[in-house]
Chains A and B, each alone.
Chain A
Amino acid sequence: MSADRRTLVTLAVLAMMWLVLNRLTDGVFLTPRNLANLAVQSSVVGILACGMVLVIVARHIDLSVGSLLGFTGMVVAALQAEWLPESGWTWPVALIGALLLGAALGAWQGAWVAYGRLPAFVVTLAGLLAFRGAAWLVSDGRTVSPLLPQHALLGGGIEGFVGARWSWILGALGVAALVGLRTRARARRIRVGVPVRPLPAEVFELASVCAGILAFVAVMNAYTLPRSDVARGIPVPVLILIAVAVGLSVLARSTRFGRHVFAVGGSPQAAERVGIDVRRVSVGVFALMGVLCAVAGIVTTARLEAATSSMGTLAELQAIAAAVLGGTSLAGGVGSVGGAVLGAIVMQTLDNGMVLLGISSPARQICIGGVLLVAVWLDGALRRRAER
């Protein structure tokens, strides 16, 4: 089963879950308000899952992402609330500082894996402990607040939406970019004389994706500010997730680095033999994951409008679960960024739906654990059947 087809299966399962939950909640689940909430709730785990796919594809694992999210989030909060003098530069410096910190710590862990020849499980387990401790030390365990008012916009709070007009503009730009790139790629294949897919199939797929984008914008615009008909539009954290997902998808599929990540995951010996610098690929993958932890830390603090020393606890396991639900193979070499984002939405859908149904938190955890188990078992069974 190709990664694309696997993603379609996930999409179909998600659609079914939405319809069932909508029936069970008497139409509450599929309201614009709930869908906007669902999108914002999925953003942090979705961002982490995008990076986790590449880590797992390269035959590694990263257990430190929750703690690194906590540490970088704590630093971005402390920078703007306590360490930096207040000026126009405070906010951008805090954000860039957190991203650089994430990249450096990710690369540090990657270097231990690549050059220290330690299993990623051990290195990032050490990171899980150390970064959580570091987050605590930044503030002696205190909650850091208040943050700068503009920071909250990144979390999608009451003002963290881009409005109806910008949502349509962004949606239209997305559609135009997609149609333009696909058309150019097809024209190029025809020009050099490489076979192309049948035109109706290509048009149908492109039209479906474009319809999906526009439907998403329409739903987000249907959610209005309280006691008014002013549309909120796309929440900022969801835009951040979309940007991360598109960026990483392009990186994974259309760059040499992405190709090498998949080659290393498929066969490290083969990659080495053809001259790929396997160790540099490992460092790159962990550095990227570190940056995404910082992005997730920024969004988390923006949503909380504060930083706590326990932020992101267990987020690594949610990110791994999302990646696996989205079709990433823990054996390495197989996975897709789009699938991982869908996996994050599937998990959040279960949680959100069960909250609406009034199911208690412990019962929800048991249920999500069970679904993860069954989903991965089914996936494996389907794969084995497809390979025969």
Chain B
Amino acid sequence: MSAPVVELRGLAKRFGGVHAVEDVSLALQAGEVMGIVGHNGAGKSTLMQMLAGSLRPDAGGIRLDGRPVRLASPRDARRLGIEALYQDLALADNLDAVANVFLGREHTTRMGFLDEGAMELSAREVLARVRPDFPDVRRPVAQLSGGQRQAVAIARAIEFHARVLILDEPTAALGPAETHAVGDVVRRLRDEGVGVFLVSHDLHDVFALSDRIAVMRGGRLEALVNRGDTDPDALVELLVGGAGPAPA
């Protein structure tokens, strides 16, 4: 395998006396989807927030392309190509898909006015890559379905060259058809060489989409398994701890 795009080494985070994350090491390849599963309080979110720059680790480090990086804020992370999509998606509902894809990074003409033509062109291209059936790019995103809104947020990440994408419960609020569409999006991202962390409660989603699955319990990495080597039932046992410790 090639060098990992991102590497977490011995990350730890404590809140008061509670070890939210304890000595977790993981490496994600480009074009790999890694599922992160665990119960509430298992440390999934804390781990991902450290990678996204929202939390500072108490110990351990993060390497991008083999080089250590310091992520003091989400802005730092985004600049380095690490983008986190939370459930609220950070969309402005009153604006259309084009405006949302370029929000905060609008293209302007030499006169300083918004370059709507160029932005619409790029937005159409990137949205078609994420989701070929995307409807009207000029409709306010409030009128789109949950999956379509997610496509807008993912398109924004891709347009700005995200190399590592953290999807936090991407299918939590979606119906079956939309969940299926998000699956297609994740597979397309993988084919484009983006590394994806897929954080989810839904074992079936994770199992269907991930190449490898990291199981977290009590802030520790309980197991790291290849999808081919396991099945959902075995995962459940790891989650509740029935199979005994099986460190990575």
Contact = CB atoms under 8 A, between A and B. Distances in A.
B145 to A, nearest CB: 14
B95 A262 contact: yes
Contacts of A250: 113
A366 interface: no
A116 interface: no
Contacts of B113: 250, 254-255
Contacts of A193: 121
B124 interface: yes
A253 B106 CA distance: 13
B30 interface: no
Interface in B80-96: 88-95
B242 interface: no
A125 interface: no
Interface string A168-212: 000000000000000001001101111000000000000000000
B245 interface: no
A192 to B, nearest CB: 5
Contacts of B92: 262-263, 266-267, 270-271, 333
B93 A266 contact: yes
A267 B117 contact: no
Nearest to A190: B117
B104 interface: yes
Most buried by A among B90, B121, B143: B90
Contacts of A266: 92-95
B95 A263 contact: yes
B94 A189 contact: no
Interface string B66-110: 000000001100100000000011111111000100011110100
Contacts of A106: none
A370 interface: no
Contacts of A334: 94
A193 to B, nearest CB: 7
Contacts of B169: none
Contacts of A271: 92, 103-104
Contacts of B108: 256
Nearest to A270: B90
B208 interface: no
Contacts of A259: 95, 99, 103, 106, 114
Nearest to A335: B94
Contacts of B118: 192
A255 B121 contact: no
B211 interface: no
A256 B103 contact: no
B166 to A, nearest CB: 14
A271 B88 CA distance: 12
A269 interface: yes
A274 B99 CA distance: 12
Most buried by A among B92, B95, B114, B117: B92
A263 B98 CA distance: 13
A341 to B, nearest CB: 21
B40 to A, nearest CB: 23
B176 interface: no
Contact of B75 (A194, A263, A275): A275
A273 interface: yes
B120 interface: yes
B114 A269 contact: no
Contacts of A326: none
A219 interface: no
B93 A194 contact: no
A222 interface: no
A275 B90 CA distance: 11
Nearest to B103: A274
Given A188-B117, A254-B114, A275-B75, A265 B94 contact: yes
A138 interface: no
A192 B117 contact: yes
A276 B117 contact: no
B138 to A, nearest CB: 9
A148 B247 CA distance: 87
A271 B113 CA distance: 20
Contact of A333 (B88, B94, B106): B94
B90 A194 contact: no
Nearest to A193: B121
A250 B118 CA distance: 18
B91 A267 contact: yes
A189 B117 contact: yes
Contact of B74 (A192, A262, A273, A387): A273
Contacts of B103: 259, 263, 270-271, 274, 276
B94 to A, nearest CB: 4
A299 to B, nearest CB: 28
B244 interface: no
> B103, B105, B114: which has the most chain A beta carbons within 10 Å?
B103
A209 to B, nearest CB: 19
Contacts of B156: 274
Contacts of B143: 387
| For the complex of A and B, 3 pairs with smallest distance between CB atoms | A266-B92, A274-B104, A266-B94
Interface of B: 74-75, 78, 88-95, 99, 103-106, 108, 112-114, 116-118, 120-121, 124, 143, 156
Given A253-B114, A256-B108, A266-B92, 13 more contacts: A191-B117, A192-B121, A194-B121, A254-B116, A256-B106, A256-B114, A259-B99, A260-B104, A262-B95, A269-B88, A274-B156, A276-B103, A333-B93
25 contacts: A185-B116, A189-B117, A192-B121, A193-B121, A194-B121, A253-B114, A254-B113, A254-B116, A255-B112, A256-B114, A259-B95, A259-B99, A259-B103, A259-B106, A259-B114, A262-B95, A263-B99, A266-B94, A267-B90, A270-B88, A271-B92, A273-B90, A274-B156, A275-B104, A275-B105
